[in-house]
Amino acid sequence: MRFSSAILTSVLAVSSLVSAVPTQRRPSNTKMLTPRPKTNAAGAAYFITNEGKGNMIIAASISADGTLSLDRAVSTGGSGAHGQTDPIGPDALFAQGSIKASAKGQVLAAVNAGSNTISLFSINPKSPAAISQIGAPAPSQGEFPISVAFNADGTRLCALNGGKVNGVACYNVDKQAGLKPIANSQRSLNLNQTTPATGPAGSASHVIFSEDGSQLLASVKGVPPTPGFIAVWDVQADGSLSADFKSVAPPSGGALPFSMTLIPGKNALLSTDPALGFDVFDLGSGNASSAVPITGQSATCWSSFSKKTGNFYLTDIGTSTVTEVNVDANLKASIVAQYSQTAGSATIDNDIATIKGNDFLYVLAPNATQVDVLSLQSAGNAKHISTLDISGPTKAAGVTINPANLQGFTTFIKQ
């Protein structure tokens, strides 16, 4: 399928408009955003300011009812950056997974796109918003790092670089010393890119491990009429990667693979695709792969999965809409429901947390400098329950917030 210049221009415009050593643990530069931090929180949520003069992690406590309260801003020890696009807008990294928590590992990692480093933090399980930096930020082994992924037990981390020196690199997680590079794990995507990256089209997007941890996957958006691809490396027992990656093309009609969310129990995944809606990748036989349009969508780019409802939740930066999608046992996908959020709020990164059997969807909306919270009560029944204001508390604490730079979203729930 060929893509017209009008479609490409529309996708790019929407994403832009509503879219760089000590071994001991050291104290972090922290600014409290509340005079009374929660002591009985069920967990915490985190995203990054991604500011060029100093990247910070914003941590919010999660209450038992799923609602959020800002807690603190913690320096990553690195700097953020915004990808090259005209005009400048939200979605600075053209990516999902710029910050990621591991519940089993009780660790948190974040990218510093402007200083080409990755920062690692420990999470206090008794007070999850209280994070402490471990070691110094580690070189990302490339340029313009945009996404990170932990393995199942949080003992390894892989990072995706999206700049001129692009590709993946992996690390062992040392809870005393920080991130330690794994030999033979730095692999190139061979993209013709810049630093900072130019996009959204033609840029890398997201890195994840397969469900069994035997493979590492990275998504790359195409430049229509040329579609993008998903790069798949085999992961060896020592954490090293296969010398070359297998390139998996999107199904007919797909063009811009963005986020990747695994379909449980299947060798398959759902990938958002701002060219039309989303793609289902059958990584086994490939027979059930399909490109699925979302009528009226503008730029659907982020996704997450709810264990409670068994459905996926996709966010569109242009229409500020959450789309709920079901993928059945035969990998046939259908749209279940759609939920409009604040008009013009530019809904981007999202994550789902399970608290005492209840699932909550958290959506970062940078144009409104807020986080929307939805209770996923059942399939087809998501209810907006609260909104967290970011701008007021951060301004009062002297923390710089720019809607065009805010990025990432991940959650940690006490086990």
Per-residue model confidence as pLDDT tens digits over 66-75: 999 999 999 9
Indicate the pLDDT class of residue 1, thresholds 50, 70 and 90. Answer: very low
Question: Which comes out higher in pLDDT, residue 46 or 8?
Answer: 46
Distance CA 305, CA 5 (A): 33
Distance CA 297, CA 313 (A): 14
The letter for the amino acid at 79 is S
Residue 11 near residue 376, CB atoms below 8 Å:
no
Supply the mean pLDDT for the chain. Answer: 94
Residue 302 near residue 258, CB atoms below 8 Å:
yes
Indicate the pLDDT class of residue 12, thresholds 50, 70 and 90. Answer: very low
What was the pLDDT predicted at 28? 52
The predicted-structure confidence for 375-399, as pLDDT tens digits, reads as follows 999 999 999 999 999 999 999 999 9
| Sequence-ordered list of residues with C-beta below 8 angstroms from that of 36, at least 6 positions apart, any chain | none
Distance CA 297, CA 325 (A): 14
What was the pLDDT predicted at 36? 84
* Ordered DSSP codes for 119-173: EEEEE-TTSTT-EEE-SSPEE-SSSSEEEEEE-TTSSEEEEEEESSSEEEEEEEE
**3-state SS, residue 10:** helix
Please say if the pLDDT value at position 358 is more than 90: yes
Fold (CATH) for 5-413: Methylamine Dehydrogenase; Chain H (2.130.10)
Average pLDDT over residues 343-347: 98
DSSP state of 243: S
What was the pLDDT predicted at 415? 83
Indicate the pLDDT class of residue 90, thresholds 50, 70 and 90. Answer: very high
Question: Which comes out higher in pLDDT, residue 26 or 99?
Answer: 99
Indicate the pLDDT class of residue 7, thresholds 50, 70 and 90. Answer: very low
The predicted-structure confidence for 124-181, as pLDDT tens digits, reads as follows 999 999 999 999 999 999 999 999 999 999 999 999 999 999 999 999 999 999 999 9
Beta-carbon-side half-sphere exposure of residue 271 (alpha carbons within 13 Å) = 35
What was the pLDDT predicted at 259? 98
The residue behind tokens 């710029």 is: 98
Distance CA 137, CA 179 (A): 8
Distance CA 88, CA 228 (A): 23
Between strands 381-389 and 290-293, the pairing is unpaired
Residue 184 near residue 242, CB atoms below 8 Å:
no
pTM of structure: 0.94
Nearest C-alpha neighbor of 196 from the set 301, 11, 52, 406: 52
Q: Where are the domains of the chain?
A: 5-413
Average pLDDT over residues 265-271: 97
Distance CA 268, CA 279 (A): 11
What was the pLDDT predicted at 293? 98
Q: What percent of the chain has pLDDT over 90?
A: 91
Beta strands, E only, 221-341: 229-234, 246-248, 260-262, 268-273, 277-282, 290-293, 300-305, 312-316, 321-327, 333-340
Average pLDDT over residues 224-230: 96
The letter for the amino acid at 268 is A
Nearest C-alpha neighbor of 146 from the set 218, 89, 97, 217: 97
Please say if the pLDDT value at position 244 is more than 70: yes
Distance CA 164, CA 147 (A): 15
Distance CA 377, CA 360 (A): 9
Please say if the pLDDT value at position 209 is more than 80: yes
Nearest C-alpha neighbor of 59 from the set 117, 132, 118: 132
Question: Which comes out higher in pLDDT, residue 277 or 35?
Answer: 277
Average pLDDT over residues 274-293: 96
What was the pLDDT predicted at 38? 80
| Sequence-ordered list of residues with C-beta below 8 angstroms from that of 352, at least 6 positions apart, any chain | 304, 305, 306, 313, 359, 360, 361, 362, 376, 411
What was the pLDDT predicted at 2? 39
Q: How many CB atoms lie within 10 A of CB 22?
A: 9
Residue 203 near residue 94, CB atoms below 8 Å:
yes
| Sequence-ordered list of residues with C-beta below 8 angstroms from that of 308, at least 6 positions apart, any chain | 354, 357, 358, 359, 376, 378
Distance CA 105, CA 339 (A): 34
The predicted-structure confidence for 23-67, as pLDDT tens digits, reads as follows 334 445 999 999 888 888 999 999 999 999 999 999 999 999 999
Average pLDDT over residues 11-20: 44
